[in-house]
Amino acid sequence: SSTYNYGDVLRVTGKLETPSRLDDFDYQGYLANQGIYSIMYYPRIETVETDMGLKPMAWVYRLRGRLAETMDRVLSEPQAALVRGIVLGLRGDIPQDVKDDFVHTGTAHLLVISGVNLSIMAGILVSLGIWLFGRRHYIYVWLALGMIWLYALITGLQPPVVRAVIMASLFLIAELLGRQRSAGIALVFAAAVMVGISPQILWDASFQMSFMAMAGLIFIVPPLQSMGRKAVNAVAGDREVIISAANSVVDSFSVSLGAVIAVWPLIAYYFGIISWVGPVATLLTMFSMPGIIIFGSLAGVIGLFFLPLAQGIAWVAWLFLTYLVLVVKIFDMVPFGVVGSFDSKWIWIYYAALAATLWLGSNRLRLAESLSRVADFVARLRMKWVVSGLLVTAILVWIVVATMPDDDLRVAFLDVGQGDAILIQKGNQQVLVDGGPSPQAIALGLSRQMPFWDRTIDMVISTHSHADHITGLLGVMKRYRVEQVLYSDSGNSSPLSDEWRHLITEKNIKST
């Protein structure tokens, strides 16, 4: 929120309540695992002091806020809310129905900045780096190290993220030094040091998932990659270009699958719900995470300096985000996908069986047949930069063509809750009358009526300056390029009307 900033000291007054259980989701247990045991509705909040935080961290949080504003301007909803949650850890504006889809499919952890996501991103970056630059000079390692630490920085250097980055860095440094077999020892040593400094983190969900995700990369991924590469060589023969591209895909697939195998029981336990479709949904959606994080971050950073270029990059991020939402919605429609909660005893049974399987190694060959089919499909593709770029461009062009509005006059009464918002459209021209009481609700309503690539509204009309009409319009003026504003200036002064007039002046919008 722009009302309160990092470094502010707040006094919060209200009634503490115990969280209730939400249908099949153990919301109370989920919050308890994060150290939250009480919640407060409609508190009274007062600012006691300001600028009490560390100056470098204040700069980081200001940057984070500006990145969030840029993402709002270049992406439609709910994609903008999702990229803010995944990249910046700002999940408050994600629509409830979208959150419910992620919860029911066992993929809610994707919306949390976690060691699981970061570990998979590091592994996939290594695979892509090797494919693009080879192993010379270890460019692929430095690329992955730089990206994960940049990711930690723009998320505000939150302790769980920093711990996950440290673990991932140990894995990458072991690769850099050619001591991959020592990565397990280094991981255990780092975990022991963290527990020695702060013993309570041993019971912290993010710590456990970060540790197990990295353990999956170290112990599970190599056998999967080995089997996948053997399958690729058997299918592709001596065609080096095809083998290189297929190996990159197999390596990325192995990274996602290995991390999912390692952390799936913890995800089911800590998120209070077990979904039989969760592992498969996670595996399929994980392929979009590096694209979301990389292109979403690039759009946010470049948008600080040159918004038109950021818009083009954001369209690529939009493809990955839309794929993520689509996969989750499809799996949410699977009948009987959710099966109650997860008892802790099954965690021990699962990991005992997994350890025995890894030790025996006899079951690894059973995956060869399925991996060979994937390799056979990948072998037919020519994974080149030009082809990939043309494919993405073609997809975007066809989507833009398919979403071009017709010349009919359309009037939509947007669902913004307790308030009014009317969108009048004819072709590419839009007139918005009032905006309701919520910037998030009006943004979601506009995204459902307007093409994702259209970020301009020709005229905004405010019938009066009451909160249930003008609050949403403030968000619209921040997100969209507004050509003209028509409003009735009664001369009354309030924080909302003052901000309204300030935005009109700041953005140099023609007003009447």
Q: What phi, psi does 15 have (nearest 5°)?
A: -100, 125
Q: Does pLDDT of 371 surpass 70?
A: no
78 preceded by a cis bond (ω within 30 of 0): yes
> Band of the pLDDT at 98, cuts 50, 70, 90?
confident
Residue 86 is predicted with a pLDDT of 81
Average pLDDT, the chain: 77
Residue 238 pLDDT exceeds 70: no
- Which tokens go with 211? 């540790």
Q: What is the pLDDT of residue 78?
A: 86
317/141: higher pLDDT: 317
Report the chain's C-alpha Rg in angstroms.
Answer: 25
- Region 432-461: mean pLDDT is 87
What's the pLDDT band for 152 if we cut at 50, 70, 90? confident
Give percent of the chain with pLDDT exceeding 70. Answer: 79
| Mean pLDDT (whole number) for 139-150 | 81
For residue 201, pLDDT over 80 is answered with no
Of 474 and 385, the structure prediction assigns the larger pLDDT to: 474
Among 131-135, 354-358, 423-427, 448-452, whose mean pLDDT is lowest? 131-135
What are 339's two structure tokens? 């099966």
> Average pLDDT for residues 93-102, to the nearest whole number?
82
What number of other Cβ atoms are within 10 A of residue 42's Cβ?
Answer: 6
How many Å apart are CA 475 and CA 208, to the nearest integer?
39
Say whether pLDDT at 380 is over 60.
no
**Mean pLDDT, to the nearest integer, of 290-312?**
85
Tell me if residue 24 falls in helix, strand or coil. coil
Phi, psi of 95 (to 5 degrees): -55, 145
Confidence of residue 272 (pLDDT cuts 50, 70, 90): low
- What phi and psi, each to the nearest 5 degrees, are found at residue 507? -90, 0
Mean pLDDT within 315-329: 90
DSSP assignment letter at 275: B
The arithmetic mean of pLDDT across residues 137-158, rounded, is 77
pLDDT of residue 115: 63
Q: Give per-residue pLDDT as tens, 62-81.
A: 888 888 888 888 888 888 88
Non-local (6+) Cβ contacts of 407 within 8 A are 426, 427
Q: What is the pLDDT of residue 1?
A: 44
Q: How far is CA 228 from the centre of its chain?
A: 28
- Using a 10 angstrom Cβ sphere, with 0-12 exposed, 13-18 middle and 19 or more buried, the burial of residue 241 is exposed
Q: What residues contact residue 511 under an 8 Å CB cut-off, 6+ apart? A: 484, 485, 486, 487, 504
Write a three-state SS string for 459-503. EEEECCCCHHHHHHHHHHHHHCEEEEEEECCCCCCCHHHHHHHHH
pLDDT at position 368 is: 61
Q: What is the mean pLDDT of residues 232-238?
A: 71
Write the pLDDT tens digit of every residue in 387-406: 666 677 777 777 777 777 77
More confident residue, 400 or 40: 40
| pLDDT, tens only, 496-510 | 888 888 888 888 888
pLDDT for 214 equals: 76
Is the per-residue pLDDT at 127 higher than 80?
no
Report how far residue 460's alpha carbon sits from residue 468's, in angstroms, rounded to the nearest whole number: 15
Tell me what the mean pLDDT of segment 82-102 comes to.
81
| Backbone phi and psi for residue 414, each to the nearest 5 degrees, phi listed first | -80, 140
Token pair, residue 166, equals 């440290």
In this prediction, residues 440-457 reach a mean pLDDT of 87
**Residue type for position 155:** T
Q: What pLDDT was estimated at residue 386?
A: 54
Rounded to an integer, the average pLDDT of 108-120 is 68
